Amino acid sequence: MSDLNETQLAALKLLLQEHRQQLRADIRDELLRKDSEQYGELAGQVHDAGEESVADMLVELNAAVLGQSIRTLREVEAAQQRLAEGHYGRCVDCDEPIPFERLRVYPSATRCLVHQEAFEQGA
């Protein structure tokens, strides 16, 4: 586990839940805008998903339609999974705890700042 305390973990858990809810609403709205029976049905499923993985549900969907939202949702759901399994908040590259200040602005982060920058530069 990371060096996050219970209060910090609870706050991050809430942030992830809110973020996921927002993404689900965005995806549903986007699907409803598509104005087709198929997407309308899907939008209802996204809305009713509860604790199920919405990202998994949307796998069949053409990624181009909602690509960015689905990718972000996938990150958020993966972070929730790590939280549930008790290995949330560590850098995937160096295994050091990711600082709370970073997680607070980016709760689905998988890398510390040093390795995120290296990753984005393709190193």
Contact assessment for residue 57 and residue 46, using Cβ atoms and an 8 Å cutoff: yes
Contact between 112 and Zn ion per CB under 5 A = yes
26 binding Zn ion? (CB under 5 A): no
Q: How far is CA 13 from CA 60, 101, 107, in A?
A: 28, 14, 8
Tokens representing 73? 């949702």
Q: Does 30 bind Zn ion (CB under 5 A)?
A: no
The contact pattern for Zn ion, residues 73-102, with x = CB under 5 A and - = no contact, is ------------------x-xx--------
- Segment near Zn ion (CB under 5 A); pick from 18-26, 56-64, 81-89, 106-114: 106-114
Determine how many CB atoms are found less than 10 A away from the CB of residue 99: 15
Whole-number Å distance between alpha carbons of 12 and 18:
10
Smaller CB distance to Zn ion: residue 46 or 91?
A: 91
Catalog residues that contact Zn ion under the rule CB under 5 A: 91, 93-94, 112, 115
